[in-house]
């Protein structure tokens, strides 16, 4: 499940449930629809209510990173559970997509 809030050029997306092979295509489609607006330069993905993510979920995040990077934007994550943080760290995405706190997300 996906909900979102937009503030100027920042899109905050909150993901709920699991981001795995079964849910990845729907979340990818929904996020891409939101990102069609070229004024969005920064994507913050809040994973507070997401206890599990597999490699399909990492692919969703990496794809949005590439799309925003192409337009000079950024992607960041916040509120990673211990399991999601472990997958994230092992994937190597931590080198290119930062994890931020509440204050940084507010811009």
pLDDT of residue 6: 95
pLDDT of residue 68: 97
CA geometry: angle 55, 59, 65, nearest 5 deg: 140
Domains and CATH numbers, the chain: 2-105 (3.30.750.24)
* Predicted confidence (pLDDT) per residue in 48-71, tens digit: 999 999 999 999 999 999 999 999
Q: Which residue intervals of the chain are DSSP H helices?
A: 24-34, 55-70, 82-91, 102-105
pLDDT of residue 106: 59
Query: Mean pLDDT over residues 33-59, rounded?
Result: 95
- pTM of the prediction? 0.93
pLDDT of residue 48: 95
């Amino acid at each position: 499940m996906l909900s979102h809030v937009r503030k100027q050029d920042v899109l905050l997306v909150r993901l709920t449930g699991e981001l795995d092979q079964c849910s990845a295509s729907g979340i990818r489609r929904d996020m891409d629809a939101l990102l069609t607006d070229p004024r969005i330069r920064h994507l913050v993905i809040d994973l507070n209510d997401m206890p599990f993510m597999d490699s399909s979920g990492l692919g969703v995040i990496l794809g949005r990173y590439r799309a925003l990077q192409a337009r000079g934007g950024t992607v960041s994550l916040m509120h990673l559970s211990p399991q999601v943080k472990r997958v994230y760290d092992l994937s190597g995405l931590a080198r290119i997509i930062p994890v931020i706190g509440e204050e940084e997300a507010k811009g």
